[in-house]
Amino acid sequence: MIFGYARVSTKEQNEDRQLIAFKESGYKFDRIFVEKQSGKDFNRAEYRKMIKAVRKGDIIVIKSIDRLGRNYNEIIEQWRKITKVKNADIIVLDMPILDTTKNKDLLGTLISDLVLQLLSYVAENERVNIKQRQTEGIAAAKAKGIRFGRSPIYDYRDYIDVYDRFRRQEITQKQAMEIIGCCKTTYYRLMKAIREAKSLAQT
């Protein structure tokens, strides 16, 4: 049997490019597994289903080595498991030399192993670089005052004292916002709610 394995890192990403490559490859697929999950490890539902289904003599087709995964050691281990334990073959469309159905002699195997290790290293390195860029980007955004995650829920009753201090001119509006830890829009909303509450209390 011939299995296709396509993977994208998030639900927002599209796997069409990989599926088109499968269609254009000329292989007649018995089943294609599509995964929308990070390649940092192999704890993936669709991948596990595929490995469970693979038998001796079957073929797994992927578009590129980073679609299999991005963890250097685990790629090597999974490759060994598929080709040595399962006695199945792997075809990497973007890298014809990584086609275990061919070049099964000693030299061919050696070259394939070297190329696999190099590409696995590149995939792992790219994963590390992406993570580093994300970390740096978040740090830069936070330095500019950009907030991440869900906005906190403000209860106007918690800030009546701040309102009173501002009204007595003990603090400026900027200082009041800093004490509350909110943006202008939230500040105005809180102040309005406090004024309305005080007005109702006086009626």
Give the residue numbers annotated as catalytic, written as ranges. Answer: 9
Q: Which amino acid is at 141?
A: A
Residues 182 and 189: beta-carbon distance below 8 Å? no
SS3 67: helix
Burial class (CB in 10 A: 0-12, 13-18, 19+), 98: buried
Q: Give the H/E segment covering residue 190.
A: helix 184-202
Residues 38 and 12: beta-carbon distance below 8 Å? no
Residues 182 and 153: beta-carbon distance below 8 Å? no
